[in-house]
Amino acid sequence: MLPEGTVPIEEKMTVDERRKYLRRMKPRYDNATRKERGQLLDEMEAVTGMHRKHITRLLNSSLERRPRKRQRGRRYDKAVGDAIGIIAESFDYICAERLAPNLGWMGEHLMKHGELFLSSTVQEKLEQISVSTTQRILSHLPQATYRPKRGKSKRKKGFLDEIPTKRLPWNERRPGYFEVDTVFHCGPNGSGEFMCTLQMIDVATGWSERVAVLGRSYLVMEDAFRRILMRLPFPILEVHSDNGSEFLNHHLVRFWKELAQGIELSRGRPYNKDDNRFVEQKNRSLVRDYLGYDRLDTVAQVWAANQFYDKMWVYYNLFQPVMRLEDKTYCPAENGQPAHTKRRHDRARTPFDRLCETDAITPEHKRQLERLRAQTNPRQLRQELYAQIDRLFSLPMAQAGVPENVYQALRSATHPQKGDFLAHLNFARTVIHP
């Protein structure tokens, strides 16, 4: 309990300030009675924030700080900090754990595109820098804060009984097991037709696919899946969705079972979002953080969103390192500590790099994507992404009483539109019957 009239200081004191304060309190402490010393220790503990035993040891010794025998020089100078700033911007300011292992190759990549110049000394330091030091440097850098904040019927069981309820294993190593979900862009009003984002996430590599559609009819959903299947550089083995009617209807089930060869279907348990945990996480970071929660409901907005997603396809899959859960251990409650789970993640790598470590991608498709990455300036691409977002939200919304043509928004991968960012990519690893 603090002595009467003592007000704790919230600001953290420096070491020199604490020593100076204790030197002033030392004469009072030396001449005080046992009871008074206890009160003084309470006061000094509240002011300095140090433990009373540590304060007692300092008061009974010399309060002068010993000078360092050898002053440690600053290893990472301004040139390193400036380089990390440009590289972090190119990665869209990812966390230090994902950034640090990828500073070296991204620095060399940006040098090829003329975004920065690195001396051999700086390059060597970027390869050796730790995660904690990277975090410390990032904390002093001005970061872009542009993240726009944009503001069920019963069904017959029948075919649903044939689709198993399960969770995809978190430690799946083979690419091709996809979680799929839709993100609604309806704003506060869910009436009428509005834009939806169809997103697919590969469990093993983190590879992501996104397509914007107008409405949720089986025609637009089938068109979106065809668009994804045509440009996906590795085959799909399983599609895991929630219980939404846009995924589980006779038309889409027929599409996967008859038209797309060798693909299994599964679904999560009703009202259990954790069964689609991988895609639910990316719904926030790859869709909501960019497009927000505003209503988008026109054909022009759908086209603009798909142009944005095409650029995001390159930026995320080829340049955004992700960490994968390597191991998790359940620790029961003991010694007053609650039960918890320890998680260990692996070294951050891009989805493309993870895909190249498997045999799921062919050498030709690997070389094609390597050429695409080598030719792409990620810093410039990031700027194009945000410029495309501005263009998207500058478009007018739908007019009341004037319905949009949903079928006009269909942009099948089999009929790419002029100016499509990824129109030249056509891997077609999954066999689709006409």
Distance CA 309, CA 384 (A): 11
CA dihedral 104, 108, 114, 119 (to 10 degrees): 80
Q: Which amino acid is at 271?
A: Y
Q: What is the pLDDT of residue 414?
A: 41
CATH number 3.40.50.920 is the correct assignment for the domain at 161-409 = no
What is the number of helices (H) and of strands (E) in the chain?
16, 7
Q: What is the pLDDT of residue 5?
A: 46
CA-nearest of 269, 290, 270, 286 to 278 is 286
Distance CA 164, CA 170 (A): 18
The CA radius of gyration of the chain, in Å to the nearest whole number, is 29
Alpha helices in 232-322 (DSSP H): 250-254, 277-283, 289-291, 299-319
Start-end ranges of CATH 3.30.420.10 in the chain?
161-409
Residues of the chain with pLDDT under 70: 1-11, 67-74, 142-159, 411-424, 428-429, 431-434
As given in the structure block, the two tokens for residue 239 are 């599609």
Element spanning 84, H or E:
helix 78-90
Q: Could you please report the per-residue DSSP string of 46-66?
A: HHH---HHHHHHHHTS--PPP
Q: What is the pLDDT of residue 327?
A: 87
What is the pairing mode between strands 238-241 and 264-267?
parallel
Distance CA 181, CA 246 (A): 9
pTM confidence score: 0.74
As given in the structure block, the two tokens for residue 93 are 């300011």
